[in-house]
Amino acid sequence: MNGASSRRRMTEARSEWWDEFWLERGSPSDEFESWASTVWDVALDFWEERFRRLAPGNEMLECGSGSAKVSAHFRRQGYKCTMLDYSEAGLNAGRARFAAAGLAGRFVVGDVNALGFQASRFDIVYSGGMLEFFSDIRKPIVEMVRVLRPGGVFAATMVPRKWSIQTLADLEIAVIRSGKRLLTGRIGEAWQMVRSVPNHYGVNSAKLREYVRACEDAGLVSVHGLGISPFPSLALPASGQIAYVRALKRWRPAWNRFDRSQSRWTEWVGSGYRVYGVKAR
């Protein structure tokens, strides 16, 4: 599903849309080495370092958990994980991942705007690719902070609705894919692919500073806002993808420096945002 109609349905944030989203993806599996798997590796290394250093305990809640890739990783590290999602199909994808790995966890259908947990319940509350789907980011952030213990860690990753290095890559992808359709006479499809650039994932246009301010207003201290992910997804043949992934592995030190710099340049160029902070004691 692509284009404006897809983004309009995402804006409505209906559980039916998310059910369809996850059902289309089938059973989760650990990806072979690819751009996506490299992005995950970088992110998980970052969060593992922060949680180990900052979190007061190992009780973790993942909001908007979907296939629960992040929670599965931290469950293997000894964390006690609760997964919450608006979509039953999303939770089923997470259950399948946990079952395949022989992991135990708690799965809860719920709304992040009204979490059914007591205050100060968790040591870590994490979300990935969720907050950008809310027109009002403050309400879910307040709820996520509410269920954190004092000293607990709030952590979130967003794919913002903005121009970035990925937007330039989307142009390359659109040109290649539309060109293939032109060669087969599918002119309408080719034009629609070009019109869809930039292919934004999220539906709000909140800036990084707005996320940081919302976290501080909710009761977090030492809040950090980062622009992340300087290397985009590209439309490459299989051999090109292999070479690209190998290059990304060599560039990991530069990637890590980019993700930690907190500069305006990385906020502008990076294809994602990362925000974390500690609940005031």
Q: What does DSSP say about strands 80-85 and 272-279: parallel, antiparallel, or unpaired?
A: unpaired
pTM listed for this prediction: 0.83
For residue 41, what are its two tokens? 């590796």
Same domain, 66 and 91: yes
Same domain, 81 and 177: no
Same domain, 187 and 240: no
Same domain, 190 and 70: no
What residues have CB less than 8 Å from 98, skipping those under 6 apart?
Answer: 68, 71, 72, 75, 104, 105
Looking at every residue in the chain, the average pLDDT score rounds to 85
Same domain, 207 and 189: no
Same domain, 194 and 236: no
Predicted pLDDT at 192: 62
pLDDT(195) > 60: no
In the chain, pLDDT over 90 holds for what percent of residues?
Answer: 63
Same domain, 73 and 134: yes
Q: Cβ distance 276 to 154 under 8 Å?
A: yes
Strands (E), 172-248: 220-228
Same domain, 191 and 61: no
| Stated length of the chain | 281
Same domain, 93 and 178: no
pLDDT(119) > 70: yes
Same domain, 87 and 150: yes
Select the more confidently predicted residue: 6 or 16: 16
Same domain, 212 and 101: yes
Total number of domains in the chain: 2
Q: Residue 7 — pLDDT band, cuts 50, 70, 90?
A: very low
Same domain, 246 and 195: no
Instruction: List, in sequence order, the alpha helices (H) in 208-251.
Output: 208-217, 238-250
For residue 81, what are its two tokens? 């994980």
What residues have CB less than 8 Å from 86, skipping those under 6 apart?
Answer: 13, 15, 18, 64, 109, 110, 111, 112
Q: Which of 184, 199, 214 lies at the terminal end of a domain, its last residue? A: 199
Q: Residue 257 — pLDDT band, cuts 50, 70, 90?
A: very high
State the CB neighbour count (10 A cutoff) for residue 244: 17
**In which domain, by residue range, is 177 found?**
168-199
For residue 255, what are its two tokens? 């990637």
Q: Cβ distance 90 to 18 under 8 Å?
A: yes
Predicted pLDDT at 146: 98
pLDDT(256) > 70: yes
| 148-158, strands of its sheet edge to edge | 106-109, 80-85, 59-63, 122-128, 148-158, 272-279, 220-228
